[in-house]
Structure 1
Amino acid sequence: METIKSRYAILGTLGDNEGFLTCSMHIAKNLNNADTIVPYPLFEEAAKDLKSERISCLLVPGAYPKINSFIMDSELEVSESFVKKIPALVLSGFGGKCPENIDIIFHHPATTYLLSEITTSYKENIAVSSNPEGCRMVIKNINRSITITNQLCADHYGLTTYKVLRKGINMPWVCFIKRLKEREL
């Protein structure tokens, strides 16, 4: 496994101000390779700040469906990549027993593949910007919804874990920096 060698002044990644609950914020904290970690509601917003040099690094998991947009962006370049295990991915909601039928299941687009493993019938699946957002939506829609989230979020928001979908998988991660003009030559 490649060792993390770079040190960044300000690393931006998916998260919010409630702590290190997203897989991205959790990994960023555990890497200990940034002086400051800034949460963003979308990776794209962090990329915008990277381009304008408000941050010095953007951390994105390989499972993010739109990672190619950063790889192909002429203003960005990959500074390093590595593999780190993410927290368990779980199906969660309120109550002691997983419902057989539900109106809505919330999930981050990176976990769309896991919908095929859910035995609960649902009318609608709604993509949310992050795992914490999925948990907050379940709280707003008690008895009508469940979420695919990580175990950190389920525990933080007091949700019941109905099923562990992945115990924690080795995830590829990519650090992006702003491309310097002289590197383009």
Structure 2
Amino acid sequence: MRPPSFPSVASPSRLRAFHAKAYNTRPQRRRPDFIEELPNSALIRLHGHRLLDSPAEALALIRTVERKYGAIREYRFLKDFEVQSYYQVFVNVAFQDPKALARLPAKGETVNFTLPTTISNRPGGVGLDELEPFLAAQEFADSKVPSFDNVMGNVMENKKEEVIKFTIEATGTLSPRPTPSSRIHRRSVAM
């Protein structure tokens, strides 16, 4: 008895279709699990080569978004796969109020924010004194995004403030990811 999936008539076109289906068992591309389609949710993408490497920097990003758009109900950071002390460039946030999501432009918006200065080689990592300024939720302010003051005061005067760009857009309006064939085409054109 033949397996039910084997074609009964072995024509060349049916065999090709059968083999293509059997060997192409790769799942379809989809968004990562952390990009949820929750109501009032948005995705933040960090730009550049600088990743967030401390909870103080991550919370500063969240508080900047809260001041610009409104209160955040929940947020999700994921650790980087290669260097576990860094966060990935994608952050998923869900706003408490639908009006906050309505403040986002249709195609997203690019925003600059100033990283807080922390002591990176401190034994035990980031301390509570460095996190305290970012633990309280921020109120929506209809003005330009404020930069946060230096967390450590004048301890690190010689270090310049770092500014990171990020793009925020509603998850329902995310642009589709490029397919592998378009990436191959771009690579071949660029060479």
Question: Is TM > 0.5 for Structure 1 vs Structure 2?
Answer: no
- Structure 2-normalised TM-score? 0.29
Q: Whose strand fraction is larger, Structure 1's or Structure 2's?
A: 1
- Structure 1-normalised TM-score? 0.30
Which protein is bigger by CA-based radius of gyration? 2
